[in-house]
Amino acid sequence: MSNFDKLFSFGYPSYTKDPELYYNCIKNSHPRYRAEIFDIYFSDPYRYKFNGVDHIYGDVMGTPLPEAHIKSLLKIQKEFGIEVSLTFNETYPNRELVEDIPTLKGFVAHIGKYYEMGVRSCTISHVHMMATGLLQREFPEMRWKNTVNHIITTPQQVVDYHTLGYNVINLDRSLNRNMDMLKAMQPLRKKYPDLILSLLVTEGCMPSCPFKVEHDTMGGKNPDWSYWQHHGNMTCKVWRHSMNNEMPRAGTEMIWGDLDTFNEYRGMVDYFKFSGRNMSLPDNTYDQKFVWSNIAHIKGQKWQADNGNLNGAIESGTPVAVADYFEQVVTTNPGIISNFQPLRYCKTSHPTTLDKVAEIDKETIWATGKGRALNHVLKNCKNECWDCHACERTFGAPDVDSLIEVNRDVSILQGHANHFKGIKISHE
Interface with ligand SF4 (CB under 6 A), residue from 9, 147, 288, 383: 383
d(CA 271, CA 195): 12
Interface with ligand SF4 (CB under 6 A), residue from 323, 390, 403, 406: 390
Least CB distance to ligand SF4 at residue 381 (A): 3
Under the criterion CB under 6 A, does residue 389 sit at the interface with ligand SF4? yes
Cα distances (angstroms) measured from residue 159 to each of 172, 187, 250, 258, 370: 14, 11, 30, 32, 39
Amino acid, single-letter form, for residue 140: P
Closer residue to ligand SF4, CB minimum distance, 270 or 392:
392
d(CA 426, CA 410): 20
Q: Residues 318, 320, 355, 37: what is their CA dihedral angle, to the nearest 10 degrees?
A: -170
d(CA 408, CA 25): 42
Interface with ligand SF4 (CB under 6 A), residue from 384, 409, 422, 424: 384
Window contacting ligand SF4 (CB under 6 A); options: 51-59, 83-91, 153-161, 376-384: 376-384
DSSP E strands, 89-214: 121-124, 143-145, 168-171, 196-200
Under the criterion CB under 6 A, does residue 248 sit at the interface with ligand SF4? yes
What is residue 155's DSSP assignment?
H
Closer residue to ligand SF4, CB minimum distance, 195 or 391:
391
Least CB distance to ligand SF4 at residue 389 (A): 5
Interface with ligand SF4 (CB under 6 A), residue from 69, 249, 273, 289: 249
Helices 155-163 and 179-191: crossing angle, nearest 10°?
Answer: 40
Least CB distance to ligand SF4 at residue 148 (A): 19
d(CA 313, CA 400): 35
Under the criterion CB under 6 A, does residue 175 sit at the interface with ligand SF4? no
Window contacting ligand SF4 (CB under 6 A); options: 79-87, 118-126, 160-168, 377-385: 377-385
Binding string to ligand SF4 for residues 176 to 195, with x set by CB under 6 A, is what? -x------------------
The backbone region for 107, taken as left when phi is positive above 0, alpha when psi lies in -120 to 50, beta otherwise, is alpha
Q: Which of residues 59-98 bind ligand SF4 (CB under 6 A)?
A: none
C-beta neighbour count of 377 within 10 angstroms? 15
Binding site for ligand SF4 (CB under 6 A): 177, 248-249, 377-378, 381, 383-385, 388-391
